Structure 1
């Protein structure tokens, strides 16, 4: 894939992550090859760190740090030997940003997870945001903001093989055990759960197997995967995150929600983009159909993660979780 094609493929994902579109164009237009992606995005992130230092302890410093975290995370989307360093820098920048902007935010970590709990301590409900194949807690800040605006507390996490934990852990099949430990650590009786991309599978599986999940939503989540049909770049990322090609193939072989979907007792919203067509991936419509309280929202012009269609689904998702957790009208 050419550099221009790769940049175009990541365009709406980057916008959904919250980077400035003009800065994105300037950075990607200057790339000689895809190999330059990681170093260029790291340099851009460091530029925002310098702006944060110049801003001192003001709110502007926190905003620059959030922007740096976004760029550091996006640096990991192309093959890059220093991807683990970029993920660690994203993690540090997010922590520094929240120390300025939300001093009450709390780092919560445990076996197989780490993340930030944000929002009021007396929130009427708590939502856990689960990332996907190569995403991380730094990518979905706009989703977190939408949930916070509805008065909910939000825990955006990295799990095994994800984000800052990708350097030291690999994917696990029984992700519901990780979610269970998160619920225990948060000290709440019930949660809402949002899963994005592969995180949609993790969220649906967890909702089927842990009754403390009281509301669930998936965005571009797979219902089933076929290893042989998956594009080579997807298989390569899976192999890195699972630890080996054999481990990734075994992981994918077990990924099928047909038996678990009928066990999801919580209200479920499944969001898909009509333009999200990846060979080997069965999208979420069967999940919504099999779940007892499933609802399907398909956005015809939406792509993977629907970064090109935020107004068409994000308010619906926020209202779905707020209503299910608090009983307030959506």
Structure 2
């Protein structure tokens, strides 16, 4: 994929995750080749670390740390020999942001997962935000914030092959085993799940197999992946996250909800963008139709992750999950 296409494809994703669109266009506009993506984004992130150090108030410093975390995370998306370093920097910056902006946030880690639990101790219910193939917990704090405003406790996590764990773990299709360990660590009797991109598959698979999932929502999640039809760049990402081509082929072959969808007993909301047409990825309409309590929301102009259509789904999904849980 050439530089111009990569910049265009990630614009909606980046701005939807909270990066300033003007800064994004300025940083990417100075690139001469895609191989410099990681370097440029890490430089932008360090600029926000400097602003945090110079800030007059804890709130301003915390906001700059949070922005730095997002820039570090997006540095991991392009060809980048320092991907592991960028992910670790994102994790550290997010921790420093929460120290200032939400001191009650708790870091919780276990086998194959790490993340932040936020929200009131006496919350009526707990939601878990699950990222996708090349994503991490630093990307979806707007989703977390929407759920927090509705009174839920929220655990935003990295799992196998994701975020800060990508350097030491690989993706796995039986994600319900990870979710089960997360629920154990949280001490919750039941939870709601929100999964984005490949996280949508993880959430649906978990809802079918983990009885403590009380409600689930997927956003741009695949119903099925077809290896031979995937674009070369996406295949490369799967290979990186799976630890090799053979493992990537096996993993992709397991991402299929045909048999699992009818086993999802809890309420399920499936959100898709009408412009999200990735070759080799079957969207969620079949999932919503086959799940006994499935509901389908398709935003016609929405792209992958619907970063260009936040008002058309985020509040609706947050209200739906909050209502389903409480």
TM-score range, shorter chain: over 0.9
Map residues 30-49 of structure 1 onto 2, 5 A cutoff.
30-49=30-49
Query: 1: CA distance between counterparts of 2:21 and 2:255?
Result: 35
TM-score (norm 2): 0.99
Mind listing any 5+ residue stretches in structure 2 that lack a counterpart?
none
Per-residue Cα deviation, 1:62-101 (whole angstroms, up to 9, x for no partner)? 0000000010001011111101100000000000000001
Query: 2: CA distance between counterparts of 1:146 and 1:183?
Result: 21
Per-residue Cα deviation, 1:148-171 (whole angstroms, up to 9, x for no partner)? 010111100000000000000001
Match of 1:142 in 2: 142
Query: 2: CA distance between counterparts of 1:282 and 1:7?
Result: 24
Query: 2: CA distance between counterparts of 1:7 and 1:149?
Result: 32
Match of 1:26 in 2: 26
Match of 1:309 in 2: 309
Query: 2: CA distance between counterparts of 1:87 and 1:325?
Result: 32
Match of 2:86 in 1: 86
Match of 1:65 in 2: 65
Query: 2: CA distance between counterparts of 1:19 and 1:253?
Result: 34
Query: 1: CA distance between counterparts of 2:44 and 2:18?
Result: 14
Map residues 1-330 of structure 1 onto 2, 5 A cutoff.
1-55=1-55, 58-326=58-326
Shift in Å, 1:174: 1.2
| Secondary structure of 2:313's aligned partner | helix
Mind listing any 5+ residue stretches in structure 1 that lack a counterpart?
none
Shift in Å, 1:4: 2.1
TM-score (norm 1): 0.98
Query: 1: CA distance between counterparts of 2:116 and 2:92?
Result: 12
Runs ≥4 residues deviating over 3 A: none
Query: 1: CA distance between counterparts of 2:262 and 2:244?
Result: 32
Query: 2: CA distance between counterparts of 1:83 and 1:312?
Result: 33
Q: Is the 8 A contact 1:227 1:252 kept in 2?
A: yes
Query: 1: CA distance between counterparts of 2:239 and 2:24?
Result: 28
